[in-house]
Amino acid sequence: MAPLADALLALARRDLTSFHALPVSHEGSLRDSEIRERYLALYGAAHLAADVSYSGAMLDSFFRPRGPLLQAQRLAAQAFGADHTFFLSGGTSTANRVALGALTRPGERVLADRSCHQSIHFALPGLGVEVDYAPMRACCDSCPREFGDIRRLLEMYAEAAAEGRPYSTVVLSAVSYDGVRYNLPAILGALAETHPHVRVLVDEAWGAAHNFHPDLRTLTALHTSRMLRRSGEGRQMEVAVTHSAHKSLSALRQGSYLHLIGSEEMHERAAQELFQLHTTSPSWPVLASLDLARAQATAEGERLLRRSIDLAHTVRHEIDTDEKLSAFEVLGPDRHLLDSSMLVADDPTRVMISLKNLGISASDFRRQLFEEHDLYIARECGDAILLHLHIGVDEKAVQRLLQAMRTIQGNRRRASSAFSGGTCDQFIIAYPPGVPIAVPGEHLDEGRQRLIASLRTQGREIYTLRGRGPAEPLQQPSPRRD
């Protein structure tokens, strides 16, 4: 059941003409246009019919919903275990601002985790609150990730309470871009025990999906808050949780959930903040996708997440055991167990891979994957890259990635042996400029080897030619666009 998606679909199927706005809706402005085909190729007729500006009784009010949006938000609150859920079409950057406005009051003290997203850093100074940041820490020598120093955050919180100047609000970034998850049962439990009247914003941008798998759910903010409330410990605590749904569920970009566990007053404050901060032209396709994403996660989330965790194991296993992937090294999770005293854990749907022994930079590796293999990796940390095995990645995609990694390693090995010194038996030519670096019979001294290595790092194409015959690109060309 997806009431908002169904209501929008019913409207999209009608032959409606709007005298309000959005000329492109239902292809109205495109009927006799030469540009229509490109619109259709990019967006499709279905999307153009569903992008509507109806409000109030015709669909629902975004700011004071009473119809299908309200029903969809209630179903989402039930599925995630919140008291209230808001749908936003302005991303979690907006959801974080709304949550902070609802939780804080001018003059109060806020303790924020330094590793929070920019949206929180930008919002806090405008709220009239006194902010202290708990520092970040590095994981260890073999791992380039950074995250909040939770021990220090809890100390700062306890010191402020002991001094009689407690923090009213605490802000945590609990599921990071790099796959670090906070141990929320321990952290929220400690906050409630030290000073129970606390409001907490937990930014779980990357972790919406975790609520739908029994093993991943145990560390989530909503599950933890319910448990604390049930035990009586967290009864006075108010918690807002933000989920960038488009990062881990089948929601469209900018789809975000803001969940609340707390009083009716908190709910009303959040509604008022939403009214002030959200665009007055919400995207109904994005909002409907939040409804569908919840419906799918409820029905299929556990199976899909199980597949993601299994695929992450496959990647780690192949890298460990396949000689053709020996230049890659898995940094985490699993073998890189974070010290439990840091109060963090690894997200098992992420795999961090070191490229130290591959001999090309992480950005060159990412560019080769994108240009030559149609594979995209967003994150690089030093000489490592990070894979997110989200629910849209299947076995076939993982096999394609592994095959591409084998190809890149093979090319690197062949290139290294051709350039490994001694007397050259072929032309070695970088383009541009096309003047041979070495011709057959010349000695490939260290200076020339260094030059070749540096040109390759810059992404230049380097060819070899053995007498007559076609040139062989030693390094698969990866033309720079800049």
Q: Does 419 bind ligand PLP (CB under 6 A)?
A: no
Closest to ligand PLP by CB, 3 vs 90, is 90
Q: Does 137 bind ligand PLP (CB under 6 A)?
A: no
Closest to ligand PLP by CB, 92 vs 308, is 92
Residue that is written with structure tokens 């309470």 in the block = 161
Instruction: Tell me the backbone φ, ψ of residue 226, rounded to 5 degrees.
Output: -65, -40
Q: Does 89 bind ligand PLP (CB under 6 A)?
A: no
User: Which DSSP category does 51 fall into?
Assistant: -
Interface stretch with ligand PLP, choices 74-82, 89-97, 390-398, 412-420 (CB under 6 A): 89-97
Residue list 235-274, contact with ligand PLP (CB under 6 A) = 244, 256
Selected binder of ligand PLP within 134, 205, 260, 315 (CB under 6 A): 205
Q: CA-CA distance, 268 to 198, in Å (whole number)?
A: 18
Q: CA-CA distance, 179 to 249, in Å (whole number)?
A: 16
Q: CA-CA distance, 353 to 383, in Å (whole number)?
A: 9
Question: What is the x/- site pattern for ligand PLP, positions 267-306, by CB under 6 A?
Answer: ----------------------------------------
Q: Does 203 bind ligand PLP (CB under 6 A)?
A: yes
Minimum distance of ligand PLP from residue 287's CB (angstroms): 14
Tokens of 397: 């995609």
Instruction: Tell me the backbone φ, ψ of residue 280, rounded to 5 degrees.
Output: -85, 0
Interface stretch with ligand PLP, choices 90-98, 190-198, 360-368, 466-474 (CB under 6 A): 90-98
What's the burial of 301, exposed, middle or buried (CB within 10 Å: 0-12/13-18/19+)? buried
Q: Does 117 bind ligand PLP (CB under 6 A)?
A: yes
Cβ contacts of 125 within 8 Å, gap of 6 or more = 131
Do 364 and 459 touch, CB atoms closer than 8 A?
A: yes
Cβ contacts of 94 within 8 Å, gap of 6 or more = 88, 119, 256, 277, 278
With CB under 6 A as the rule, give the number of residues binding ligand PLP.
Answer: 11
Selected binder of ligand PLP within 91, 144, 332, 333 (CB under 6 A): 91
Interface stretch with ligand PLP, choices 88-96, 143-151, 411-419, 425-433 (CB under 6 A): 88-96
Q: Does 123 bind ligand PLP (CB under 6 A)?
A: no
Residue list 42-61, contact with ligand PLP (CB under 6 A) = none
Closest to ligand PLP by CB, 177 vs 284, is 177
Residue that is written with structure tokens 């700011």 in the block = 63
Closest to ligand PLP by CB, 85 vs 93, is 93
Tokens of 459: 């992404």
Q: Does 220 bind ligand PLP (CB under 6 A)?
A: no
Q: Does 177 bind ligand PLP (CB under 6 A)?
A: yes
Q: Residue 91: left if φ>0, alpha if ψ -120 to 50, beta else—which one?
A: left
Question: What is the x/- site pattern for ligand PLP, positions 144-173, by CB under 6 A?
Answer: -----------------------------x
Do 474 and 462 touch, CB atoms closer than 8 A?
A: yes
Closest to ligand PLP by CB, 76 vs 444, is 76
DSSP collapsed to 3 states, 3-29: HHHHHHHHHHCCCCCCCCCCCCHHHHH
User: Which DSSP category does 69 fall into?
Assistant: H
> Under the rule (CB under 6 A), what is the footprint of ligand PLP?
91-93, 117, 119, 173, 177, 203, 205, 244, 256
